[in-house]
Structures are given as structure tokens and as C-alpha cells.
Chains A and B, each alone.
Chain A
Amino acid sequence: MRTNDVMLQTVTKVVTFLILMFAVHIFFAGHYTPGGGFVGGLLTASAIVLLMLAFGIRTVKKIVPINYVVMTSVGLLVAISTASASVLFDVPFFTHAYDYFDLPLFGKTSLHSALLFDVGVYLVVVGVTMTIIQTIGEDE
């Protein structure tokens, strides 16, 4: 019997955007406050899992047509390239650099190369979590 899921679907349409917004915020706030790439990736994966619970796995695959295995490998590639870019400047492996820039909207911000490494961690976490959940959920 197919039940009527109007409540769950309507709330999911609102709440998913809240969760994604909070994931982006916590990803960028990881340098000075609690947060970072790992927690942001888990929050993004939880938003996609909520969509899957409300609308079914096949619909979400049409909405978000991403191969998560490729996403994991891209994340590992980003992390490794960020770590090995320091070898080009004659400093040890994994040495990060930072500088202060005057951006047009944000004013004086410090841009750090650890953010790129965090992008790699984020992509790996989202890819691995979604791969696990899709593999378990597709027992047809």
C-alpha cells in the first residue's frame, strides 16, 4: 500500500535549503570557529538523504545526476594537489600559505590554501557517504 506523504514532502522542500545553507556556512567557518570540511560534507549528505527519504532514490538520482565515486576521486585529487603544490616553491610537503586580500564585497579577508584542502575533504566525505547509502538502499 502506498501511503500519502504530503507532510513529509512539503517540509522537506523547505528544510533541505536550510540544511544546505547551514552546511555551506559551517564549511567556511571552519578556520576560526568549530566546523570545517568534514562536518560540512556530512551535513550536505544528510540533506540529500532527507530528499531520498521523502521522494525516493530514483527521483533524487534524476535531480542530482552525480556519480559519487568520481566525486570521491576528484576530492582525493584536489587534496593531493593542494598538498604537493608546496613542493614547487621549495618548501616541505603540506606547507600552507596565506595572505590578506581586499575583496570588493568582504573587505579585508585572509585567504588560506587550507581552504582548498578542505574542499577536497568535503568532496571525499560527501562521495563516500552517498556511495555507502546508495549501495545499501538499492536492494531491488
Chain B
Amino acid sequence: MTIANILIIVSISVGVLFSVVTALGLVRLPDVYTRTHAASKSSTLGVLAILTGTFIHFWIVEGIFNTQMIIAIAFLFITAPVGGHLIGRAAYISGIKVSEQTVRDDLGPAVQRKKKRFALSKKPADD
């Protein structure tokens, strides 16, 4: 009983801590891309830790093996980083500037080449 309580307390505290770190990162970081990084990584881990804590609580203390929790953990683990990736990619392709501290930009030349080829080929826009 006490070991289960310690597990629940530790996992939910880790989740809340990571959520607080996510909020701090959304306020403090300078750029769309760094903020997307903070929001997609640490908030995913925070929500996963909170869900794991509630799953352990219902499994050991209440005696209910809740399979929806496992499905929710897998679903969030798959989808939240892809959401962050898509937000960052859409921001870059629509032309939002990176911050001044950036030292490398590998996607920029590729996007420029693609736009040049697209302008040369004179095809209609294929959305």
C-alpha cells in the first residue's frame, strides 16, 4: 500500500513539474520553433506521467484495470510530437523568421530549391 502511494505521488509530481516547465518555456523562449520544442516534448512527458499515476492509483488502490488509460498513453505518445512537428513545419514554410541566436539552418536551402523548381515547372498549384 505504501509503495503504491509512493509511486503515485512520485509520478504525478513529476508530471506536474514537467507541465510547469512547459508553461515556463512557452513564456521565456524567444522563438516559435523553440517554443514548439518545449510544448511538444515536456508537456507530452508531463501528461504521460500524470496518466501513469492515475492508472496505478485505479489499478492498485481501487482495483480497476482501466484499459482506456493505456490506450490514451499510447495515443498521446504517438500524436503529440507529430503535432509539434507539423506546427513548426507550417511556421517555417509560411516564412516566420528564426531568432538571432540561430547558427544553422538546414531546411532553408531545401525549401528555396523546391520553390525555384516549382516556379520553373509552371504547374498549377497542387494542394
Which residues in A have some Cβ–Cβ distance to B below 8 Å?
Answer: 1-3, 7-8, 11, 14-15, 18, 22
Contacts and interface: CB of A to CB of B under 8 A. Distances in A.
A1 B115 contact: yes
Contacts of B126: 2
B74 A11 contact: no
Contacts of B85: 7
A3 B86 contact: no
The main secondary structure of chain A at its interface with chain B is helix
The winner among A1, A2, A8 for most chain B CB atoms within 10 A is: A1
Interface of B: 68, 71, 74-75, 78-79, 82, 85-86, 89, 93, 114-115, 118, 125-127
Nearest to A3: B93
B89 A14 contact: no
The main secondary structure of chain B at its interface with chain A is helix
B34 to A, nearest CB: 20
Given A1-B114, A18-B71, A11 B79 contact: yes
Contact of B75 (A2, A7, A15): A15
Contact of A15 (B68, B79, B93, B114): B79
A8 B82 contact: yes
B114 A11 contact: no
5 contacts: A1-B115, A2-B127, A11-B79, A15-B79, A22-B68
A3 B89 contact: yes
Nearest to A18: B75
Given A11-B78, A15-B79, 20 more contacts: A1-B114, A1-B118, A1-B125, A2-B118, A2-B126, A2-B127, A3-B93, A7-B82, A7-B85, A7-B86, A8-B82, A8-B86, A11-B79, A14-B78, A15-B75, A15-B78, A18-B71, A18-B75, A22-B68, A22-B71
